[in-house]
Amino acid sequence: MYLNLSYINAINDNYIWILSNEKGFIIIIDPGDSASVIKTIKIKNYKPKYILLTHYHKDHTAGVESILNNYPNIKVYGPKIKNNKTYIINIEQKDQYIYIMQYKFLVIMTPGHTENCISYYLSPYLFCGDTLFSGGCGRVFTKDYNLMLNSLKKISKFPNDTLICCGHDNTVNNLMFSKSVFPKDSTILFYEKKIKKLIKKSKSTLPSKLQDEKKHNLFLRTTEVNLQKKLLFKNNDLTKINEINFFYQLRRMKDRFCWS
C-alpha cells in the first residue's frame, strides 16, 4: 500500500512531515507544533497512528504531548536516551529495521547535530531531521565534527533518487552561504536558478533529491581537493589540506554567516 508524502510548515521554517495511506492512517515525523498538526488531522479526517522523532530539540518535539492528549493511542518512536519520556518507544543506538504499520523502515544512526540523532528511511523518503539540509547541514552541537561528517557520508550512500525530507527549509540561506564561499561554482549557481524558479511558482524547495545534493551541497563535497585548497587558501591555512579540516572550517564559517 503506497504512502503519500505531505508536510506542514510550522513555527518558522520547520517542516513536520506526514505519511498517509489510502485509509487515512498517518505517520507524523518531528511534530514541533501541535495546533497545526491537530488542525490538519481534523480537516483531512486523518487517523494518526505513529509519531517518529529524529532527535529531541523542542522545535521537533514540542507538539508531541498535546497531540497525545488528543489522540492517546498514538505510538511514539525516538532515539534511546537516559531518562527518556515514558511514552516513547526507545530505538537502540544501532542501525536496524522497524515495522511501522505494515511498512519496513530502516533506522540509521546519524549523530553529530546531537549525540542521539537518528534518521528513518522508507524508499524513496529519508527523514533526517537536522543532519542534512538542502544545500547545507545542521549545526554540530556535539562539537564532534568527525561524527557529523561520518553521518553525512552515510546518508550520501543512499540511492540517488532518495528524497531528503529534512527538518527545516533553509535552502535559500544555505545557497547564499555557498555562493559567498565559492561564488563561481557552476553547480551551486545552477541549483540556485532551480530554487528561484520554484519559489517564483510558490513551490516548496523540499524535499530535495540526494543526487542533486551530492552535486551542489558543499557538505557532501568534502572529498573534492580543489574545494579544499580554495577554502583553506582563503583562510590562510595550507598546512592541513584534508577532508575533515575542510568540513570543520566550512561548518564554522556557516555558524558565523549572516544573510538578510
Q: Is 25 helix (H, G, I), strand (E, B) or coil?
A: strand
Q: Give the global pTM.
A: 0.95
Closest residue by Cα to residue 206 from 175, 238, 167, 239: 167
Look at residues 147, 145, 151 and name the one whose alpha carbon lies nearest to residue 126: 151
Show the cell assigned to 208. 530535495
Q: In a structure prediction context, what are the per-residue pLDDT tens digits for the chain, which is 260 residues long?
A: 689 999 999 988 999 999 999 999 999 999 999 999 999 999 999 999 999 999 999 999 999 999 999 999 999 999 999 888 999 999 999 999 999 999 999 999 999 999 999 999 999 999 999 999 999 999 999 999 999 999 999 999 999 999 999 999 999 999 999 999 999 999 999 999 999 999 999 999 999 999 999 999 999 999 999 999 888 766 666 567 789 999 999 999 999 997 54
